[in-house]
């Protein structure tokens, strides 16, 4: 399966207060996020991760705890700048790999079951093939389902996942399809 996520901010203490996350410590937040990731993502799944994954430098241990392969949008101007320059490309996850992608990336229709999807950490006003029905998935805004963005655009960050799905888990491609259909009916 294919999944999408962003903005976990693993190991980032201030994000708990900033996003009003119900955790008493970063350890409890990190543990819950790993648990929900692994209960959703299987060893052979792919997660497109759109930024603000980890705050700090020592990330290799975290990758080894997560299922699946992570296709990561590498933008060195946000919270991940601390570790991105030091990470070994294609570092192993629990059962897959970590693959670095450019900061703006488009998934072709054949990979996403006949749907073109433009990925970026930040929400965009215009994206590749927007006027031909392409979707845009992003993070960054911690929208808590309050996004004013209309149309084929969705914040796939964990805070919005909690607001929409009731769990801090990655969105599956099927869940994104359902949400996009509801948003545009």
Alpha-carbon gap, residue 82 to 117, rounded angstroms = 28
Alpha-carbon gap, residue 135 to 116, rounded angstroms = 6
pLDDT at 90: 47
Reported pTM: 0.90
Burial of 125-160, coded b for 16+ CB within 10 Å and e otherwise, reads eebbebeeebbbbbbbbbbeeebebeebbbbbbbbb
Structural domains of the chain, with CATH: 2-183 (3.60.21.10)
pLDDT 10s per residue in the chain (185 long)? 999 999 999 988 899 998 999 999 999 999 999 999 999 999 999 999 998 988 876 777 788 899 999 998 887 666 666 666 666 554 556 656 778 888 899 998 777 778 999 999 999 989 989 988 899 999 988 876 555 566 789 999 999 999 999 999 999 999 999 999 887 76
pLDDT at 120: 95
Could you tell me if 12 and 58 are in contact, meaning their C-beta atoms sit under 8 angstroms apart?
no
């Amino acid at each position: 399966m294919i999944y999408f996520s962003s903005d976990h901010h693993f190991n980032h203490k201030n994000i708990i207060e900033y996003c009003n996350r119900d955790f008493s410590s970063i350890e409890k937040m990190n543990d819950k996020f790993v648990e929900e990731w692994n209960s959703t993502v299987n060893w052979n799944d792919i997660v497109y991760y759109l930024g603000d994954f980890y705050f700090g430098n020592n990330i290799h241990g975290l990758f080894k705890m997560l299922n699946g392969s992570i296709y990561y949008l590498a933008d060195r101007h946000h919270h991940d700048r601390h570790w991105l320059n030091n990470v070994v490309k294609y570092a192993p996850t629990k059962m897959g790999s970590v693959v670095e992608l450019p900061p703006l990336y488009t998934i072709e229709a054949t990979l996403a079951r006949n749907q073109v999807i433009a990925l970026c950490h930040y929400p965009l006003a215009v994206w590749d093939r927007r006027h031909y029905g392409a979707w845009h998935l992003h993070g960054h805004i911690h929208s808590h389902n309050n996004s004013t963005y209309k149309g084929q655009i969705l914040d796939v960050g964990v805070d919005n996942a909690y607001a929409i799905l009731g769990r801090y888990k990655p969105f599956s491609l099927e869940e994104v399809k359902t949400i996009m259909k509801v948003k545009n009916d």
